[in-house]
């Protein structure tokens, strides 16, 4: 597993600047809204941007008045995110997390959890569950597939369908709130992204 995360992180470190430029203008406002609209805590929310990359979405959450903390395994992304967002950013490998218990109101995992190998997914989802406050919300968006996994252009990915993804996340103790496919307004075969929203049971 170390080789899997190490190879993916090496790819991101080597391509950090081109990745930042290529994703700077991606519109994920639908995903941000999907997380925030389901959080029932008092604002401002404490949000973990899980796999924050260069920090684009950290800046969005901060601009909206929330306390945003980034997490990324890539040293270069973590550096960029700190500089660009002026937010706290934790450099942590997804497969070796060290998260505070009952800390976050929401977790924004946009295009990140698909890098977790299927063999480790249940454990990682349980760790995300544990770092959420009761009633907290997890948003996840991942490229969907037919439950295959492997290397793709220098990065490891696991590509689940809705039924399999649902089984893993409910198995970690979450309650499903919503799901949708992206980009919006296109035929399903032209919607490669599966977005899901989940709640940690209150109390």
Indicate the domain borders of the chain: 2-199
Give the pLDDT confidence score for residue 16 in this predicted structure.
Answer: 60
H/E stretch holding 137: strand 132-143
Closest by CA position to 113, among listed 76, 82, 71: 71
Q: What predicted TM-score, i.e. pTM, was given to this entire model?
A: 0.94
85-138 pLDDT tens trace: 999 999 999 999 999 999 999 999 999 999 999 999 999 999 999 999 999 999
Lowest mean pLDDT among 2-16, 86-100, 160-174, 184-198: 2-16
**How far apart are alpha carbons 82 and 142 in whole angstroms?**
24
The CATH number for 2-199, chosen from 4.10.320.10, 3.40.50.150, 1.10.10.10, 3.90.1150.10, is: 3.40.50.150
| 61 band by pLDDT with thresholds 50, 70 and 90 | very high
175-189 pLDDT tens trace: 999 999 999 999 999
């Amino acid at each position: 597993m170390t080789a899997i995360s190490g190879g993916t992180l090496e790819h991101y470190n080597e391509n950090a600047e081109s990745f930042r430029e290529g994703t700077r203008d991606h519109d994920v406002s639908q995903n941000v809204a999907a997380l925030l609209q389901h959080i029932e805590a008092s604002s401002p929310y404490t949000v973990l941007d899980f796999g924050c990359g260069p920090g684009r979405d950290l800046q969005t959450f901060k601009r909206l008045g929330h306390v945003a903390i980034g997490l990324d395994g890539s040293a270069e992304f973590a550096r960029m995110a700190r500089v660009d967002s002026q937010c706290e950013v934790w450099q942590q490998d997804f497969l070796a997390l060290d998260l505070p218990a009952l800390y976050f109101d929401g977790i924004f995992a946009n295009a990140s959890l698909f890098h977790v190998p299927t063999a480790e997914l249940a454990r990682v989802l349980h760790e995300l569950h544990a770092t959420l406050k009761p009633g907290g919300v997890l948003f996840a968006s991942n490229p969907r597939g037919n439950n295959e996994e492997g290397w793709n252009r220098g990065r490891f990915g696991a590509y689940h369908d809705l039924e399999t993804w649902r089984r893993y996340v409910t198995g970690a103790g979450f309650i499903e709130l919503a799901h949708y496919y992206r980009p919006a307004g296109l035929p399903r075969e032209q919607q490669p992204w599966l977005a899901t929203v989940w709640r940690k049971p209150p109390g």
